[in-house]
Structure 1
């Protein structure tokens, strides 16, 4: 199968493929999604097959306007409308209890709930409208590996396996959306996966406490939302997290162990390690925004480096605001492994 690259002028062709049950990857402000009609079980089954993803892992349903929720959701949480008015289109996924049999069980992972999002990308919103049906859209990569933040990343993983890719350059944010559980209208909202919309932002809008689910799902458990597995987003090369004060010790340890080290970092840390690192993926500045945008691309680039690296070091950030999303992804990529000086 040839995987076509679609631009704005070919939206009609991409939409027709989706409506007929084919797979087309699409851009969002977070990462690229692997699109298929959420109403066609055979198309959704192809998504799981192409990604190598367990079918108990529910998929996010992408819509082009809030009115598309109506066939699926009738008992919305009292905070739902306020959240959609404030954050949609944008990187916030909302989980609702759904009408019985309104979505195929292969989309919901057999649950009585489903996750919905309205992405902030004009090309993809137009694609959904032209396809005239909601689209599932898990990250367009091999399951468990770093998520794709460019069409080139999708091409690397899925060329020859899907019909096409709608190209819109590099994504703006770089990690997946915040997932907020609103499935019980009588319960407080619960963040199941942190993202660019922070706990603090949600609480400021809702004027109430938002809970955070800290549970890490094991391989034998069925998650309620994507990205809840203990190890996820991981390259083939081992990843270690390095706290600010530990970089000298970490590089010394790697030298003693005769390990070739790849480093993801902003300019300050990069300058500190440049004579000892075998390869460096440079974030555009030292901020958590730059680290978040560059994390998945950096993991991919260093993992595929001709330097044949033994270990990747990545910086940590305080777990507040966007730092919560960055650290959530990094901890899973590193399988919770921090460098610790003996």
Structure 2
């Protein structure tokens, strides 16, 4: 399918109303969307992704003015964050309202909500007239899709309709902030930086090493390519890659920005952009590229954990996390 037209958006809305699944572009990644008020359609998302039913989904709405019914209450901190960062890559965890089925929340009495900053997603939400649950449009735990072709390659005919909005601008998922307690807390770093959130709220935020609240992206192995990912210090990337190559592995390398020697002996090399925004935008595409080139090992290092670097580091750690052998 080519780029989106009004008729395509109307068709996508009709598919959602009929209980179908629509892949839609957002500024972060492509989402696998269903009517958020249809428990059967929501359950189909879990089936298609192979996602555990206890892992809650994010409900996407067209604007903060549409929060009524989706949430029980909107604390002052939530209103402040929504005013500054919606539409945008920020998800707020609030008390569940009557419109949200428990299938969408993993059985929790909280719901994750955001307003995407993408003209096609917003147009679809407006035409559809309701909320859309939309986790990333990929198999559970694998690399998130940042282009329509990624969705087609991974999910194929399991998706009823794909809206092609081109490449995603941010490239990593939204930041998730819990605003149900006395003090907001970041549950997952993402497209809105901790520094920007703190500037608006006027106080520091905690970023827990592991969230005790069930939210998307918290599985030990997540955002993972088929290749095994190994993380080392930046100055050790080349030596580790060449050691593994010498041992007969098909090695892919994330060569850190500013590395003095780009002639590393490896199966495939990705030069990490100096711009952290460009790195975030390209991260999942880089991982997919090395998979497609047949790498069985990817050697990478973590960026400085500030700004968007915090989200990139989080995704790389999850990609390198322990994988189930079942």
Q: Structure 2 length normalisation: TM-score?
A: 0.93
8 A Cα contact 2:241 2:299, kept in partner? no
Gaps spanning 5+ residues in structure 1: where? 218-222, 338-342
Which residue in 1 is equivalent to 2:316? 330
Q: C-alpha distance in 2, partners of 1:333/1:138? A: 17
Does 1:304 find its partner at 2:288? no
Cα displacement string for residues 141-195 of structure 1 (whole angstroms, at most 9, x for unaligned residues): 01110000000100111111111111111101111000000122xx110100001
User: What SS is found at the alignment partner of 1:212?
Assistant: coil
Which residue in 2 is equivalent to 1:276? 265
Which residue in 1 is equivalent to 2:40? 42
Q: C-alpha distance in 2, partners of 1:117/1:109? A: 17
Q: Tell me which moved more, 272-281 or 86-95.
A: 272-281
- After the TM superposition, which residues 1-342 of structure 1 pair with which residues of structure 2 at under 5 Å, given as runs? 7-9=4-6, 10-99=8-97, 101-184=98-181, 187-215=182-210, 223-265=213-255, 268-269=258-259, 272-283=261-272, 285-305=273-293, 308-335=294-321
- Displacement of 1:53 after TM fit? 0.4
Q: C-alpha distance in 2, partners of 1:190/1:142? A: 28
Q: C-alpha distance in 1, partners of 2:322/2:235? A: 18
Count of residue correspondences: 322
8 A Cα contact 1:316 1:327, kept in partner? yes
- Displacement of 1:41 after TM fit? 0.5
Runs of 4+ in 1 over 3 A off after TM superposition: 265-269
Q: C-alpha distance in 2, partners of 1:291/1:182? A: 29
8 A Cα contact 2:143 2:284, kept in partner? yes
8 A Cα contact 2:3 2:166, kept in partner? no
Structure 1 residues 326 and 177, CA, compared in 2 at 3 Å: closer, same or farther?
same
Once superposed, what is the RMSD of the aligned Cα atoms?
Answer: 1.9
- Displacement of 1:260 after TM fit? 2.1
- Displacement of 1:279 after TM fit? 1.0
Gaps spanning 5+ residues in structure 2: where? none
8 A Cα contact 1:266 1:291, kept in partner? no
Cα displacement string for residues 11-59 of structure 1 (whole angstroms, at most 9, x for unaligned residues): 1111111111110000011000001000000100110011110010000
User: What SS is found at the alignment partner of 1:53?
Assistant: coil
Q: C-alpha distance in 2, partners of 1:114/1:216? A: 15
